[in-house]
Amino acid sequence: MRGLTPLPLRRALGEPLLLLAALGAVLLATTALAGLAGYAVSATDAGVRRTLGTVPAGTAATVVTAPVRGGSFPATDRAVRAQAAATYTGLPVEVTLSAQSDSYAMPGQERRKRPELLRFGVHRGLREHARLVRGSWPAAGRDGTAAGRGGTVEAAVTGAVASATGFSAGDVITVEGRLDHRRVRVRITGVFELDDPYSDRWDGEPLLTRGSEVGDYVTHGPLMVPEETFVARFAPGVTARWLVVPDLRPVPRERLLPLAAGAGRFQEALRARPGCEDCSTATRLPDRLTRLATATLVARSTMLVPVLELLLLAAYALVLTARLLADHRRMETALLRSRGAGTRWLALAAAGEALLVTLPCAVVAPLLAPWLLRAAGALTGADVRPGPEAGPVIHTVSAAVALGCAVLLTLPALRGARRTYVADQAARGRGERYGAAQRAGADLALLGVAALAVWQLRRYGSTVTATAGGGLGIDPLIVAGPAAALLCGGLLALRVIPPVSRVAERITARRTGLAPALGTWQVSRRPARRSGPALLLTMAVAVGVVSVATVATWRASQRDQAGHLAGADLRVASPPNGVALGPLGRAAAYRALPGVVSLSPAYRAGSDLAGEEVTLLAVDAADLPGMLRLRPDLSADPVAALAARLAAARPDLPGLPIPGRPERLTLRTRLTVDDPALADEYGAVPLTLVIADAEGVRHPVRVVLGPGESRPTADLSALRGRAGRLAYPLTVAAIVLDVPLPATGSGLELAVERIETDAGTAVTPPPGTRLAHGAATGYAAERRYDTGRGLFAIGFDAPAPRDPYDALAPQRVTFVPVRAAVPDAGLFTAEGSPQGPFLGPLPVVVTADLAAGRNLTTGSRATVTLDRRPTLITVAGIVAKVPGTPPDRPAVLVDWRTMQSWDLLAHRAPRPPAEWWLGTGGADTSAAAAELGRHREWDVTVVDLSSLARGLRDDPLAAGLQGALVLGFLAALVFAALGFAVDAAVTLRERAAEFAVLRALGMGFRQVLGLLLVEQAFLIGLSLAAGAAVALAVAALVVPHLVLTGQATAVTPEVTLEIPPLPALALLAGVAALLLVIVAGLAGALRRGAGRAPLIGEDR
């Protein structure tokens, strides 16, 4: 045993080429696999950090509400704070208290029926997030009173409140409670502004951020008072609100589910604390954390796919190298056995030699793996850095892989150690022959496993499935499915080598060239000898092409997802009646944004179609072709055709053009009441002008008419807002009269004699048009209608008398300009009835699931309930999904202008556009998005296609597979090149004597080189073709199901396989060129060693 220790070293030095090849293979395997394992950990951790760092405060927050009673408030406050600290142990937590009082009447308006109202409020931490403009912050207990009890209350107001109410610092006012009529004396101590009124911190505080709210009453405030003052003076009977917001950035991946469980039990635990028995909570955090944990698990399991593929390649490359080494040492092994070396001794020697190769790799690989990890992050553009969590994983995987490599290097030596030299030579001569049934059985077994794994992947849609315990876990069969499919395809491709080589031999045998004939004969004579490198090369090429396909599919899917989420290049959502931009002030502001070439108002709402909940989306059809981000394969018809069909049924309603660019309109009207004693019942008759701008946005402007002659003014400038501009030219789309229906009424006549602009120009119907009219109800019978005097004059009989408590809404009469030939009959739509013949069927584009459920086809007509009213529709097109709508709900797309006209003829108010879709013609949207971001006072929410695409691309959870594939493919290529080079070098060495004999028989070196090139080119070409074919099959079956969203959910729209031809062909050409360069290098070495050829291989 004394000679055992140096023997591995002596044997290694005796075969430096093969041992160096084994060392390279082991080092590559340990480094690549450890790097991939570390990458999976780092990518998921980076994804968790990125996701948690961008969770909106409204999602992370837990909202606690509780009734406030003066004595119980401190205990409730302590309970909320204690529970927040207990639930989010170790995390920074901010607990913010806010509350608002009951309503108080504005000073001097106490006796009004509808006074403007004030509210008092408190917000803990307000001073840290606001700045004083004038005056000072309020203090409790001034004027010698404790907490303002019974004395003057100090309060501060925002600048918006000061502007709306006229309050200023130093004012003293007295207000009266609307419920208890208690009077409170208030001193305004200061005026402040919020640092960032659009911050998530102020979610749920619209009155504080805006200063005023308009509903049934106009409410101003809140007047912010100290916490002690609020509890003492305003707390009883109100509800306080605590906002518990944890800082989730430090949360590690393994704490996601425990934290979700704790947040889900927040209310139960809080109510168990004294003082919080009536507390209620609301939070979306548990669901968000649970989905993130699931996404993390799916992402890590998906990144195991290239790990297993690489593991399979590494194992096969090592087995191939070990077999070559064992074959090369068969004489040495036989001599050792003849001198008494037993199997155990030879196993220990082989194990020592294997450890001599693998132990240095186990030490070096953890040092190299982080560099691979950084390289993968750089190649994919993902923010993936090796964190402290990846260190133990990298070291563990390195050690495990090194140990496995040692076993693989030892096994072929043990197999050969049990044979005598004669038995070994006999087996070598006849080859390892198995029956066709054995080979077919093994192939079918592997094919069955691969088919089952791929079927499960396609069925479940991910590598994670439900476990027996009800949770989620990684399914090893599904994860191993792609690797098994590649191996199965590679083995099946090997079966093609013998028949193809025989066919090639017959073809070349008929030709005059010697090298091709000898080369193909050599391959066909010993096809099994080529199976090892052929399989390795086939699988490496297949891994490469699948990686290219997966990366291309993933990137295309990110673009498709971004397009579906955005709907257009830019989608801007905002309140329709904003302060800075009014209802008709947005179009011009948005059209002036840099890069915007088209825009359309849009209406979105939950609706119903034939009893099924749908998303109703209305966009201007004329702008759809250059704006809608619909992937071509999602519709049988192009977007231009869909848009033309949607716009085909637009009603021809010309409107009353408003000349010039006026800012107000003045009406001249005359209201005559038949019974003067009832004139008070008609003292405020509302008349509404429906004003439309150049983009088709309509907004009602209401004026009030009284008996006799009236000259009301419609203020158009108010429609633009503080910072907006009107999109001229304007039109009066309709005039709406609401005729009062008192219990005891009178007949009346109303004449609208003239509408003129501030420049004195009259608004008149265009030539060839007239004002048609229709009433929504018939409670007051129409007795005459005349358009000969002014615009129109209309008269009604007195409504039938009724009980005073039987109130009726005013009778609405709509006046619409139409072409002179259009009759009134069939023009307007009665409540509860389908549209008349003037409108015809409404063109709609519906999603495929909705069409299938209702048996709708393109061009079909049906009367359905749409938006809660019977509607005759015609299907203009069917699409898989409508961009810009939720993927989990059917959608209906209609033309914006058509829908507006339909509402008008159904006596409905115009629908306000809550969204605007902007098109940049495919150009960069960053400039327009940046300009929108600079105008925070516009109060807009921007969905930017470019930003969405970047966010999806840079999400480490979704992009992790891309980096793993890049690493796996590069390692696979190196494995294939290394295995091919080693096999070719050993082959040349073994056949050196054969080549020398051929040279001696008169065969020139060029012919010998041609023979070598034919053999290797045959192997390379067949392997490349087989690898490409296997990759195409596996990619079609597997790749679309490996691409998921960052939340590990199915992608919308559905993933389509992308195999870019140029990169794939470049990959194949690059691999072929690399291998041919290796062959050329070995051929040069063969020529240089031609003189030693007779001495090489004589041991055989």
Alpha carbon distance 265, 582 (integer Å): 44
pLDDT, residue 145, reads 43
Alpha carbon distance 557, 1049 (integer Å): 13
pLDDT, residue 1, reads 44
Alpha carbon distance 1015, 530 (integer Å): 10
Residues 6+ positions from 1049 with CB-CB distance below 8 Å: none
Helix residue ranges per DSSP H, 567-671:
586-591, 639-647
Q: Is the pLDDT of residue 656 over 90?
A: yes
Taking only the tens place, the pLDDT of each residue in 241-278 is 999 999 998 888 888 889 999 999 998 998 888 888 88
Confidence grade of residue 423 (pLDDT, cut at 50, 70, 90): low
Alpha carbon distance 707, 695 (integer Å): 36
Decide which of 799 and 656 is more confident.
656
- Report whether 399 contacts 363 (CB < 8 A): no
Q: Is the pLDDT of residue 763 over 60?
A: yes
Q: Residue 971 corresponds to which amino acid?
A: A
How far is C-alpha 193 from the geometric centre of its chain's CA atoms?
Answer: 35
Q: Give the pair of three-digit tokens for residue 741.
A: 């229906």
Residue (of 923, 954, 926, 920) closest to 942 by Cα position: 926
Transcribe 398-435 into DSSP letters.
HHHHHHHHHHHHHHHHHHHHTS-HHHHHHHHHH-----
pLDDT, residue 360, reads 87
Decide which of 528 and 510 is more confident.
510
Mean local confidence (pLDDT), 999-1010:
67
| Mean of all residue pLDDT scores within the chain | 82
Alpha carbon distance 273, 276 (integer Å): 6
- Count CA atoms within 13 Å of residue 649 on its CB side: 26
> 311-325, 410-424, 543-557: lowest mean pLDDT where?
410-424
Q: Which pairing describes strands 153-158 and 183-194: parallel, antiparallel, or unpaired?
A: parallel
830 DSSP 8-state letter: P
pLDDT, residue 512, reads 62
pLDDT, residue 748, reads 92
pLDDT, residue 5, reads 47
Alpha carbon distance 663, 665 (integer Å): 7
Mean local confidence (pLDDT), 4-10:
55
Q: Is the pLDDT of residue 945 over 70?
A: yes
pLDDT, residue 422, reads 55
Which residue in this structure is represented by tokens 């395997």?
Answer: 29
Nearest-10 crossing angle of helices 16-53, 956-990: 170
Q: Is the pLDDT of residue 144 over 80?
A: no
- Report whether 602 contacts 917 (CB < 8 A): yes
Domain regions of the chain by residue span: 1-55+308-433, 58-247, 496-564+952-1100, 565-651+835-951, 656-819
Q: Compute the 3-state secondary structure of the chain and give helix, strand, coil in percent, each to the nearest 5.
A: 50, 20, 30
How far is C-alpha 242 from the geometric centre of its chain's CA atoms?
Answer: 31
How far is C-alpha 935 from the geometric centre of its chain's CA atoms?
Answer: 26
Mean local confidence (pLDDT), 40-47:
80
Confidence grade of residue 767 (pLDDT, cut at 50, 70, 90): very high
CA dihedral sign, ordered 740, 741, 746, 752: positive
> 577-591, 685-699, 800-814: lowest mean pLDDT where?
800-814
Decide which of 1057 and 992 is more confident.
1057
Q: Is the pLDDT of residue 389 over 90?
A: no
pLDDT, residue 532, reads 72
Which residue in this structure is represented by tokens 């069925």?
Answer: 459
pLDDT, residue 2, reads 47
Q: Which of the residue ranges 21-25, 284-288, 1002-1006 has the most confident prediction, judged by mean pLDDT?
A: 284-288
Alpha carbon distance 540, 28 (integer Å): 14
Confidence grade of residue 789 (pLDDT, cut at 50, 70, 90): confident
Q: Could you tell me the CA-to-CA distances from 489 to 238, 282, 447, 969, 1094 in Å, in that order?
A: 71, 53, 8, 17, 41
Residue (of 810, 796, 794) closest to 752 by Cα position: 794
pLDDT, residue 88, reads 92
204 DSSP 8-state letter: T
Q: Give the pair of three-digit tokens for residue 1043.
A: 């691409």
Q: Is the pLDDT of residue 416 over 70?
A: no
Taking only the tens place, the pLDDT of each residue in 157-197 is 998 899 888 898 999 999 998 888 888 999 999 999 888 88
Q: Is the pLDDT of residue 286 over 70?
A: yes
Taking only the tens place, the pLDDT of each residue in 544-603 is 888 888 888 888 888 898 889 889 999 998 877 777 888 899 999 999 999 999 999 999
Q: Is the pLDDT of residue 495 over 50?
A: yes
Residue 274: how many other CB atoms lie within 10 Å: 10
pLDDT, residue 1094, reads 46
- Report whether 490 contacts 540 (CB < 8 A): no
Q: Is the pLDDT of residue 1091 over 50?
A: no
Residues 6+ positions from 790 with CB-CB distance below 8 Å: 668, 751, 752, 753, 754
886 DSSP 8-state letter: -
Residues 6+ positions from 210 with CB-CB distance below 8 Å: 160, 579
Alpha carbon distance 447, 331 (integer Å): 39
* E-strand stretches of 506-623: 570-573, 598-609, 612-619
Decide which of 922 and 261 is more confident.
261
> 285-299, 358-372, 689-703, 964-978: lowest mean pLDDT where?
964-978
Long-range contacts of 69-74 (CB under 8 A, 24+ apart): 69/235, 69/236, 70/231, 70/232, 70/235, 70/236, 72/275, 73/231, 73/235, 73/240, 74/275
Taking CA 569 as the corner, what is the angle to CA 567 and CA 570, rounded to the nearest 5 degrees?
A: 90
- Report whether 385 contacts 46 (CB < 8 A): yes
SS3 213: strand
Q: Give the pair of three-digit tokens for residue 901.
A: 């006209």
In the chain, the percentage of residues whose pLDDT exceeds 70 is 83
pLDDT, residue 85, reads 92
- Report whether 790 contacts 753 (CB < 8 A): yes
Residues 6+ positions from 105 with CB-CB distance below 8 Å: 112, 115, 116, 117, 118, 175, 176, 178
Q: Could you tell me the CA-to-CA distances from 1039 to 33, 462, 740, 806 in Å, in that order?
A: 21, 11, 67, 67
Residues 6+ positions from 30 with CB-CB distance below 8 Å: 358, 361, 362, 364, 365, 397, 398, 401, 402, 405
- Report whether 667 contacts 717 (CB < 8 A): no
pLDDT, residue 1097, reads 44
Q: Which of the residue ranges 36-45, 779-788, 812-821, 979-988 has the most confident prediction, judged by mean pLDDT?
A: 812-821
Residue 273 phi/psi, 5° resolution?
A: -90, 145
> 241-250, 502-511, 795-804: lowest mean pLDDT where?
502-511
189 DSSP 8-state letter: E
Determine the straight-line distance between the first and last CA of the chain, rounded to whole angstroms: 30
676 DSSP 8-state letter: G
- Residue 793 β-bridge partners: 751, 786
Q: Which pairing describes strands 598-609 and 708-710: parallel, antiparallel, or unpaired?
A: unpaired
Q: Is the pLDDT of residue 337 over 70?
A: no
How far is C-alpha 500 from the geometric centre of its chain's CA atoms?
Answer: 48
Helix (H) or strand (E) run with residue 918 in it: strand 915-919
Alpha carbon distance 1014, 1024 (integer Å): 15
In the chain, the percentage of residues whose pLDDT exceeds 90 is 22
- Report whether 279 contacts 65 (CB < 8 A): yes
Q: Is the pLDDT of residue 881 over 60?
A: yes
Alpha carbon distance 602, 587 (integer Å): 12
832 DSSP 8-state letter: T
> 238-252, 446-460, 537-551: lowest mean pLDDT where?
446-460
Confidence grade of residue 883 (pLDDT, cut at 50, 70, 90): very high
Decide which of 1055 and 329 is more confident.
1055
Alpha carbon distance 945, 939 (integer Å): 19
Q: Is the pLDDT of residue 721 over 90?
A: no
Q: Is the peptide bond before 56 cis (omega within 30 degrees of 0)?
A: no
Residue 868: how many other CB atoms lie within 10 Å: 8
Residue (of 481, 389, 365, 474) closest to 39 by Cα position: 389
Taking only the tens place, the pLDDT of each residue in 363-383 is 888 888 878 777 766 666 555
CA dihedral sign, ordered 1015, 1016, 1021, 1023: positive
Residue 923 phi/psi, 5° resolution?
A: -80, 175
Q: Give the pair of three-digit tokens for residue 736.
A: 């709406």
